[in-house]
């Protein structure tokens, strides 16, 4: 018997979170014959899975800690208008986290982490194709991702990052067309250079997540909205997922997919 008390593969799984991660997990569990129940405090695509950018971009799926991020973060600490702004605080947990993050902002740590990302990124687009072939009707649209730079010299850092991704074993195809040939009419006249990453895709995030939910239900899964989970307890040889209204769903295993 395993440490979690299970002596066989789970037959029934409760997935907490009806966003794209939870519903994708539920769909692929169904591929293995598992009975799934998806629980969400509000409903399908009620959080970040409705409002994110919709990029399906393995070329940008990389470790966040790196020397460049540390340098940028330190410059941003004193700029209240920066995208990353950390207000002055005596929160010891926050500063302990930031210190640990800083310790990992090394090229060596980035390369080690990137090697772990490579097999996941390699499988990502095929996973979307498998979902489409299995009845998820929302499309994934092939499209490049174009990064624009106000100064030509700024391209070098992203180019170097893509070269490091290649060194880690992940194929990356990119080009540097002239600004007028980038086919991005939204670009300001102040833009001096662009870098275009090929072979990426995008989705309508809300519609894709709703299509996932429909597919899960059509394959026999159950989705409970308004189920605000307050605990996952072991009940004999099974788990009991309990709500704040004292409802409970029993399962052999539970997946927590509630976002950040």
pLDDT in tens, 6-59: 567 899 999 999 999 999 999 999 999 999 999 999 999 999 999 888 999 999
Total domains present in the chain: 1
In a domain, 18, yes or no: yes
In a domain, 155, yes or no: no
State the pLDDT at residue 1.
Answer: 43
In a domain, 166, yes or no: no
CA 58 to CA 200: how far, in whole Å?
Answer: 7
* Residue 135 near residue 215, CB atoms below 8 Å: yes
CA 48 to CA 226: how far, in whole Å?
Answer: 17
The CATH number linked to 241 is 3.50.50.60
Q: Where are the beta strands (DSSP E) in 9-134?
A: 12-16, 35-40, 55-56
pLDDT in tens, 154-209: 999 999 999 999 999 999 999 999 998 988 999 999 999 999 999 999 999 999 99
In a domain, 8, yes or no: yes
CA 213 to CA 206: how far, in whole Å?
Answer: 11
Domain span holding position 236? 1-51+207-260
State the pLDDT at residue 68.
Answer: 80
Provide the mean pLDDT of the chain: 91
In a domain, 168, yes or no: no
In a domain, 24, yes or no: yes
In a domain, 108, yes or no: no
pTM of the model: 0.85
In a domain, 196, yes or no: no
Window from 83-97, 170-184, 232-246 with minimum mean pLDDT: 83-97
Residue 5 has pLDDT above 60, yes or no: no
């Amino acid at each position: 018997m395993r440490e979690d008390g299970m002596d066989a593969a789970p037959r029934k799984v409760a997935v907490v979170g009806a966003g794209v991660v939870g519903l994708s997990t539920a769909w692929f569990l169904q591929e293995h014959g598992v009975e799934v129940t998806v629980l969400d405090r509000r409903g399908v695509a009620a959080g970040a899975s409705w409002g994110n950018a919709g990029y399906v971009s393995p070329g940008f799926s990389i470790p966040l800690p790196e020397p460049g991020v540390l340098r940028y973060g330190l410059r941003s600490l004193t700029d209240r208008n920066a995208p990353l702004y950390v207000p002055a605080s005596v929160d010891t947990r926050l500063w302990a986290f930031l210190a640990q993050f800083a310790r990992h902002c090394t090229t060596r740590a980035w390369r080690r982490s990137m090697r772990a990302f490579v097999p996941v990124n390699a499988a990502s687009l095929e996973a979307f194709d498998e979902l489409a072939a299995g009845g998820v009707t929302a499309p994934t649209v092939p499209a490049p991702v174009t990064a624009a730079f106000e100064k030509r010299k700024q391209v070098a850092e992203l180019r170097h990052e893509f070269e490091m991704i290649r060194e880690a074993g992940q194929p990356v195809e990119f080009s540097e067309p002239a600004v007028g040939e980038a086919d991005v009419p939204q670009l300001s006249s102040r833009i001096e250079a662009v870098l275009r990453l090929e072979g990426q895709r995008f989705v309508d995030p809300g519609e894709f997540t709703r299509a996932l939910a429909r597919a899960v239900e059509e394959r026999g899964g159950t989705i409970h909205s308004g189920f605000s989970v307050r605990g996952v307890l072991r009940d004999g040889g099974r788990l009991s997922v309990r709500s704040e209204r004292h409802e409970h769903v029993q399962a052999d295993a539970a997946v927590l997919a509630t976002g950040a």
